Amino acid sequence: MELEAKGQHRRRGLNPMQRNKVHHVYTADCVAKELGVGEDLIHDLTLGMEPEDGVIWVYGIGDDPVLAFTDDGIEEVRLLIEEFNRHKPKS
């Protein structure tokens, strides 16, 4: 029984409808520098972020994992920083 149209090939085990569109990420220290804040603040503000929000952990051999963000994740971090600054007590 032939279910696929002629000329179309499907690799086994891969869902042709689901593709990862992320081709680069930025580390938390890079994002902190770009946004002019400390890396600790980035870590604190992003504790509740999920991969769908644009945050991932990058693992290497023998190293601790590194927090990284997609372009969408950086925008989310920017919004979190703005919210933090609005609610931060003035000294």
Rounded mean pLDDT of the chain? 84
Residue from 73, 29, 30 nearest 51 by CA: 73
Q: What is the pLDDT of residue 90?
A: 74
Which stretches in the chain have pLDDT values below 70?
1-20, 91
Residue from 17, 18, 32 nearest 73 by CA: 32
Please list the residues that pair with 26 across neighbouring strands: 69
- What gap in Å lies between CA 91 and CA 89, rounded to an integer? 6
Q: Which residue has the tokens 């400390």?
A: 38
Q: What is the pLDDT of residue 27?
A: 96
Residue from 90, 84, 89 nearest 44 by CA: 84
